[in-house]
Structure 1
Amino acid sequence: MLQAFFNGLSGLFSFSKGLDNVSNNVSNMNTPGFRGSDTFYRSVGGQDGRGLGSSVAGTEVRTKPGDPRQTGNQTDLAISGAGYFVLRDESKEVFYTRSGQFQIDSNGFLVDTVTQRRVAGIAPSGALIDINIRDQRSLPPKPTTRVEMVGTLARSGPTDTSHKISNVQVFDASGSAHSLTIDLEQLPNSSDSWSAKVTDSAGAMLGSGTIAFGLDGTPKAGFNSLSVTLNGQLISLEFGTPGSFNLASQVASGPSHTLGAKVVDGSAIAGLSSLAFDEKGIVQFTYSNGEKRTGSQLALADFPDETALIAAENSLYRAPDSMRPNYGRPADGPYGRIQGGYLELSNVDLSQEFGDILIIQRGYQASSRVMTVSNELLEQLYNGTRGG
């Protein structure tokens, strides 16, 4: 009877710990990246084979992924498939998480919003690195080096033997913009040759020369480009390849000239407009001048046995000393793809939790009843002994 009492007591302890685990699952049902766990019980036996009740064998992490939810924040990331994000603190202690609730901190590092631990990227060598965008917040200015002249000049327009192209915006080495004007005048002694001069917005001459076309209307070799100097830098005005109609050309006659200028390169300082992560976890930068560049790549960790991970606070996990993680790149081999602008929700299923609560409640009631009956039998025994 005494053993029955203690067996019932062990059941109360075991079921109460199981209820603690269920309550933790339910309380984190809205925690991004949280993975619920299940409690497992074991029987306790003596050396003679007698049953000594039950105890909690431990808990096991549920590896089923949660549903993705769109947030609109491009630094929020979800993993579609296998893998965990890798977080490191200043002491290089490593944690793993499915919660991709990230942000860029004041120093340019990609960090976990809750813990401020740095999100690890992966170098070409396979080593873990920090992801920092500080040097990608802007692009340095680029001087204009080439302007393409596209369109036609009419050899014998009715009254139009000159052509002006205004407001050609170019950039110097400091990123400052300059508006150029290109004046073309048909030479009186040659209907296939044009004098060209380039001036800035103040009317200062930057360069001049002669542009000529062959009988077929294509630019003539040696007369198909013009170089001008702007604040010490050379800018080449290209009229096209001799024998080709790829850029400028001359026609026999026409109502007007259509020649225009296309600035090929050069830009001012360009600020970062947006960043996003592609499915391979590579940072994609878009700048105010429309230029796009790529940055670091996220690292993912995979484990031989996910259920052996040790749960920590803030939806983080540690790897036991006996298990080494494998690091890799998203969308490569067994590793999942990255969904930018999404968060993975908790994988807690309320239906399952409520079912577990009912089972725990019944077990707790039964264990309590066993203790009550054992106590009543012991009390009856004592009373009988006193009566004798």
Structure 2
Amino acid sequence: MLQALFNGLSGLFGFSKDLDNIGNNISNMNTPGYRGQSAFFENLADGDGTQLSQEFTDLSQGSIQQTGTSTDVAISGKGLFVLHDTQGNVFYTREGHFQFDADGYLVDDTSGYRVAALNSSGGLTDFTIANLTTLAAQPTTKVNFSGNLAKATAGQTGPNTQQVPGIQIFDAAGGMHTLTATLTDNTATTAGSWLVSVKDDTGNVVGTGEVRFGPDYTPQAGFSSFDLSLKYNGTAQKVTLNFGTPGAYSGTTQMPGATASIGAKVADGHGVVGISQLSFDTTGSLQVTYSDNERKQGPQLALAYVPDEQDLQLHQGALYSAPQQLSVSLGKAGSSYFGNITGGSLELSNVDLTRELTEMIIVQRGYQASSRVLSITDSMLQQLYSSTGGGGG
């Protein structure tokens, strides 16, 4: 009979700890990347009651929800993100709520640990955009002209000139300069000839040249472009003024009877530009878009694979560590057994609230039954004590 007391007590302890586990699951149902924990009871030898066996992790995929935050990432399929702290301790997680710190390192927003990327040899390195935050200035090397140059009309007095203002070019330091090109009809002297004079924003002439048009009204070979030799901040800079390809009508033309429509477009060059947008592709590579719409590829997220994730040790939040004897493979998303990355999204907890509430009811009933065993056993012991002389005068 005394053993019944200990059996009932073991039931109370077991159900109480199981309720702790259920409570932890429910409290983390909104924790991104959290995986529910389940515990099972096992019988003790010789009828000595019960105890909780090893806890198990629910490894099923949580639902993926868009967040609109470009640095949030989720894994669709197998794999774990890799983090490390300042002491070099490595952790793994499915929670991908990341952000860039002031130094350009991608860090876990919850723990502050740095996120790992893959280096060229497949090893781990810090995920950083310190060298990608801006694009260095690029000097302009070419300006393309297009449209039509109209000949002088009958009765027109003075020189036939057409002007192209507002040509904005960049020097090697990122400074912007505005040029104005003036084209003067020289066909009276040379057939199809137009003289070009270019001034800077102070009104100084910085270059001259000539463009000629053939019988097909397109630029002639040898007269379709010329170079400006400029100098800014002590640095020489050559800018080619291109008026089109001989025989092609996509550049500058001299069509009879057509109105004047000459214009210019700078082909290249920019000042120092910053990042306008960040995004992750399905392989976990960061795509960087700058304010001039130029794009560059950044680092690639490292993913870890463990054959049996039940062997991982759970830490705070949704972080895991691997025992020394555990084999961990590294790779990239979309390859081998690794899943794909979904950018701007988070994997939510895989806790099923309905299931947890059902388990809670079962635990409550088990706890009540174990408590009843103690109560009845105590009553029987009291009755036995009374019947064996406990009540004698």
Please indicate, yes or no, whether the TM-score normalized by the shorter chain is above 0.5. yes
CA distance in 1, matches of 2:251, 2:337: 50
Q: Is the 8 A contact 2:66 2:345 kept in 1?
A: yes
3-state secondary structure, aligned to 1:87: strand
3-state secondary structure, aligned to 1:154: coil
Structure 2 unpaired stretches of 5+: none
Q: Is the 8 A contact 1:282 1:297 kept in 2?
A: yes
Q: Which amino acid aligns with 1:190?
A: T
3-state secondary structure, aligned to 2:337: coil
CA distance in 2, matches of 1:17, 1:25: 13
Q: Which moved more, 1:376-385 or 1:263-272?
A: 376-385
Q: Is the 8 A contact 1:156 1:191 kept in 2?
A: no
Match of 1:274 in 2: 277
CA distance in 1, matches of 2:356, 2:319: 21
1:258-273 paired onto structure 2 within 5 Å: 258-273=261-276
Match of 1:52 in 2: 48
Q: Can you list the C-alpha shifts for 1:38-97, whole angstroms capped at 9, x where unaligned?
A: 01111111xxxx322111111111112222333222112222222221111122211111
Q: Is the 8 A contact 1:169 1:263 kept in 2?
A: yes
Q: Can you list the C-alpha shifts for 1:135-192, whole angstroms capped at 9, x where unaligned?
A: 2111111110001111222356544832211111111111111111111112121231
CA distance in 1, matches of 2:354, 2:72: 28
Q: Can you list the C-alpha shifts for 1:11-51, whole angstroms capped at 9, x where unaligned?
A: 11111111110111111122222111001111111xxxx32
Q: Is the 8 A contact 2:148 2:258 kept in 1?
A: no
Q: Is the 8 A contact 2:70 2:279 kept in 1?
A: yes
Q: Is the 8 A contact 1:182 1:199 kept in 2?
A: yes
CA distance in 2, matches of 1:309, 1:61: 9
Match of 1:117 in 2: 113
1:106 aligns with 2:102: yes
Cα separation, partners in 2 of 1:175 and 1:260, compared to 1, 3 Å: same
Match of 1:68 in 2: 64
* Offset, 1:246: 4.0
Q: Is the 8 A contact 2:284 2:300 kept in 1?
A: yes
Match of 1:220 in 2: 220
3-state secondary structure, aligned to 2:253: strand
Q: Which amino acid aligns with 1:280?
A: T
CA distance in 1, matches of 2:60, 2:258: 72
1:251-330 paired onto structure 2 within 5 Å: 251=255, 253-330=256-333
Match of 1:168 in 2: 167
Q: Can you list the C-alpha shifts for 1:290-345, whole angstroms capped at 9, x where unaligned?
A: 22221111112222112332211021112233322222212233322222222222
1:207 aligns with 2:211: no
Q: Which moved more, 1:301-310 or 1:154-163?
A: 154-163
* Offset, 1:226: 1.1
Q: Which moved more, 1:14-23 or 1:370-379?
A: 370-379
Match of 1:96 in 2: 92
1:76-91 paired onto structure 2 within 5 Å: 76-91=72-87
Could you say what the CA RMSD is over the residues aligned between the two structures, in angstroms?
A: 1.9
CA distance in 1, matches of 2:149, 2:341: 53
Give 1:354's match in structure 2, choosing from 330, 352, 357: 357
* Offset, 1:286: 1.8
* Offset, 1:273: 1.7
Give 2:343's match in structure 1, choosing from 335, 340, 362: 340
* Offset, 1:270: 0.5
Match of 1:143 in 2: 139
Give 1:381's match in structure 2, choosing from 369, 384, 391: 384
CA distance in 2, matches of 1:277, 1:157: 59
Q: Which amino acid aligns with 2:240?
A: S
CA distance in 2, matches of 1:135, 1:13: 56
Q: Is the 8 A contact 2:244 2:251 kept in 1?
A: yes
3-state secondary structure, aligned to 1:9: helix
Q: Is the 8 A contact 1:184 1:195 kept in 2?
A: yes
Q: Which amino acid aligns with 1:300?
A: L
Structure 1 unpaired stretches of 5+: none
CA distance in 2, matches of 1:321, 1:374: 48
Q: Is the 8 A contact 1:105 1:111 kept in 2?
A: yes
Match of 1:237 in 2: 241
* Offset, 1:380: 3.1
3-state secondary structure, aligned to 1:106: coil
Match of 2:26 in 1: 26
Q: Can you list the C-alpha shifts for 1:244-294, whole angstroms capped at 9, x where unaligned?
A: 33422332x124222221110011111222212222221121222222221
CA distance in 1, matches of 2:172, 2:153: 39
3-state secondary structure, aligned to 1:179: strand
1:182 aligns with 2:186: no
CA distance in 2, matches of 1:282, 1:79: 13
* Offset, 1:385: 3.0
* Offset, 1:130: 0.8
CA distance in 2, matches of 1:354, 1:149: 73
